[in-house]
Structure 1
Amino acid sequence: METYTWLRQFADSWGLLFMTLFFIGVVIFAFRPGSREQADEAARIPLKDD
């Protein structure tokens, strides 16, 4: 099988599945309980004085 054809078939099937699962994981991570406080704290880091 030609390399391009094999990579194309892989990307069309498993690549799409992987990207979908990764996206769902990122959304769950961003909206998990307690993430608001951590995000607010990280946003204030550049404004802190030494």
Structure 2
Amino acid sequence: MDTYTALRHFADSWGLLAMLLFFIGAALFAFRPGGRKAADDAAQIPLRDED
């Protein structure tokens, strides 16, 4: 089996699973309880007074 085929089979199976798990983890992190205050605070950083 050549390298391209091996990497393609890996990406088709385990790579897809890794991307799915990353997406689920990112979604859980974004919608976690208590995350809204941190997100609102970060959204206001550019609007803060620099004095």
Q: Percent identity?
A: 70
Partner of 1:46: 46
SS of alignment partner, residue 38 of structure 1: helix
Which 5+ residue runs of structure 1 have no aligned equivalent?
none
Counting matched residue pairs gives: 50
Relative contact order, CA 8 A, sep 6+: which one is greater?
2
How big is the alpha-carbon RMSD for the aligned residues of Structure 1 and Structure 2?
0.5
Give the ranges of 4+ consecutive aligned residues of structure 1 lying more than 3 Å apart after TM superposition.
none
Which 5+ residue runs of structure 2 have no aligned equivalent?
none
- Distance (Å, rounded) in 1 between the aligned partners of 2:40 and 2:31: 13
